[in-house]
């Protein structure tokens, strides 16, 4: 279904995007439509890589801005087709993040002469394992396509600016013991009992609150899983707790792991998953100008998002998009029409004045 980017409004376009299913790894039809619509615009140069599209102005401006959004959604959950009621657009991906994609597409179509050069990125497979992420693929294989002074990731942020993001690391901590029949437990050593000091550490741990560029990040250290036991009459010889550390972006992944080793001194840790945080970078001119222009309150991003992909490339980035992120991935996912209008208006003003 061809996308009309010029004779439409942002609500209608969001609804059309919601009604074009694009679950992760099934984005091709939507990517085809987006490619056709962008290619029809004379002021943009379009590059396609898999189901990711990069569209650039090339006006020789002093600064270049990257505006990015992912095309894919989580699986349908009884929330199609889209439905507009009482100023709220409901439906799969309306919040995460076809509302933001609609805003970006309208900016791409209607602002032929922006005051900063713009690179629009519409990418695939954000909602699944990191190895498939289209933005990550471009960052690894064609980082030149993402070059810029500032990036805006249009993930839902309640139409406010969320800067930076926290890192995340998961580790497994194992305790060992010695099996024995539970009727003669003194013959063995109980690996679950050996977890007592670990849970004590977790229960009494005081997470840092760190102010960076005026934003307060709140770390967190949590057991997200625990498992142990052989059978109902056996003293168990192994137990494992999975711990998730969410760390402020002033720590690198190495720093985070060193901290965990100090906290759990004497216990062996195995990292099973890790992603770096991203500093807010609000002191950079492009970022500061953006925040001032959109006039939105700035908050820290606690969860991990693709802004970290830009940080790795040395590009300051923020989240700024319509929709309440708490409704992402929910059956009642939705986006307020007011968010769509306000984000589009603010970005239009910033890009044209």
332 is catalytic: no
Residue of 96, 126, 127, 333 with catalytic role: 126
26, 61, 142, 170: which one binds a copy of itself (CB under 8 A): 170
Alpha-carbon span 324 to 28, nearest angstrom? 27
12, 182, 324, 348: which one binds a copy of itself (CB under 8 A): 182
Beta bridge partners of 176: 238
Residue tagged 């792991």 (tokens): 257
Instruction: Count the residues of the shown chain that bind a copy of itself, applying the rule CB under 8 A.
Output: 46
Q: Which stretch binds a copy of itself (CB under 8 A): 41-49, 53-61, 144-152, 184-192?
A: 184-192
**With binding defined as CB under 8 A, does residue 174 bind a copy of itself?**
no
Strands 298-300 and 161-163: parallel
Q: Which stretch binds a copy of itself (CB under 8 A): 83-91, 99-107, 123-131, 195-203?
A: 195-203
Own/partner pairs for 281-285, CB < 8 Å, 24+ apart? 281/163, 281/164, 281/213, 281/311, 281/316, 281/317, 282/163, 282/213, 282/214, 282/215, 282/316, 283/213, 284/149, 284/150, 284/316, 285/149
75, 268, 303, 314: which one binds a copy of itself (CB under 8 A): 303
166, 309, 319, 346: which one binds a copy of itself (CB under 8 A): 166
72 is catalytic: yes
Q: Which stretch binds a copy of itself (CB under 8 A): 106-114, 145-153, 182-190, 252-260?
A: 182-190
Cβ closest to a copy of itself, residue 115 vs residue 240 = 240
Footprint on residues 232-251 left by a copy of itself (CB under 8 A): 232-236, 239, 241-242, 244, 246
Alpha-carbon span 173 to 194, nearest angstrom? 11
**With binding defined as CB under 8 A, does residue 225 bind a copy of itself?**
yes
Q: Which stretch binds a copy of itself (CB under 8 A): 1-9, 24-32, 141-149, 175-183?
A: 175-183
Buried/exposed code over 332-348 (b: 16+ C-beta within 10 A; e: otherwise): ebbbbbebbbbbbebbb
Tokens of 202: 């977790």
**With binding defined as CB under 8 A, does residue 304 bind a copy of itself?**
yes
230, 331, 338, 345: which one binds a copy of itself (CB under 8 A): 230
Length of the chain: 353
Sorted by sequence, the CB contacts under 8 Å of residue 131 that are 6+ apart come out as none
What residues act catalytically?
Answer: 72, 126
């Amino acid at each position: 279904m061809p996308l009309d980017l010029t004779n439409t409004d942002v609500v209608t376009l969001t609804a059309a995007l919601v009604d074009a299913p694009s679950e992760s790894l099934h984005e091709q039809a939507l990517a085809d439509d987006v490619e056709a619509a962008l290619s029809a615009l004379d002021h943009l140069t379009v590059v396609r890589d898999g189901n990711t599209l990069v569209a650039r102005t090339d006006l020789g401006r002093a600064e270049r801005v990257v505006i990015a959004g992912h095309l894919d959604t989580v699986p349908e959950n009884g929330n199609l087709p889209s439905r507009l009621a009482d100023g709220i657009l409901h439906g799969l991906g309306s919040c995460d993040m076809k509302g933001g994609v609609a805003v970006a597409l309208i900016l791409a179509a209607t602002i032929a002469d922006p005051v900063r050069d713009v690179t629009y990125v519409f990418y695939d497979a954000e909602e699944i394992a990191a190895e498939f992420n289209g933005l990550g693929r471009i960052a690894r294989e064609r980082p030149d396509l993402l070059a810029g002074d500032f990036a805006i990731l249009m993930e839902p942020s309640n139409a406010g600016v969320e800067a930076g993001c926290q890192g995340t690391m998961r580790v497994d901590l194992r305790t060992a013991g010695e099996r024995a029949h539970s009727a003669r437990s003194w013959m063995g050593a109980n690996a679950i009992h050996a977890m007592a000091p670990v849970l004590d550490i977790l229960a009494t741990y005081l997470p840092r609150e760190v102010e960076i560029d005026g934003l307060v990040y709140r770390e967190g250290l949590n057991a997200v899983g625990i498992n142990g036991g052989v059978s109902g009459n056996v003293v168990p010889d192994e137990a494992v707790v999975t711990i998730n550390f969410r760390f402020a972006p002033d720590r690198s992944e190495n720093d985070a792991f060193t901290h965990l080793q100090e906290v759990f001194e004497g216990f062996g840790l195995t990292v099973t998953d890790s992603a770096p945080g991203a500093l807010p970078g609000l002191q950079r001119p492009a970022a500061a100008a953006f925040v001032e222009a959109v006039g939105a309150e700035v908050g820290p991003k606690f969860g991990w998002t693709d802004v970290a992909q830009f940080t790795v490339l040395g590009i300051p980035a923020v989240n700024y998009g319509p929709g309440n992120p708490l409704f992402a991935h929910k059956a009642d996912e939705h986006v307020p029409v007011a968010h769509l209008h306000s984000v589009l208006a603010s970005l239009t003003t910033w890009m044209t004045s």
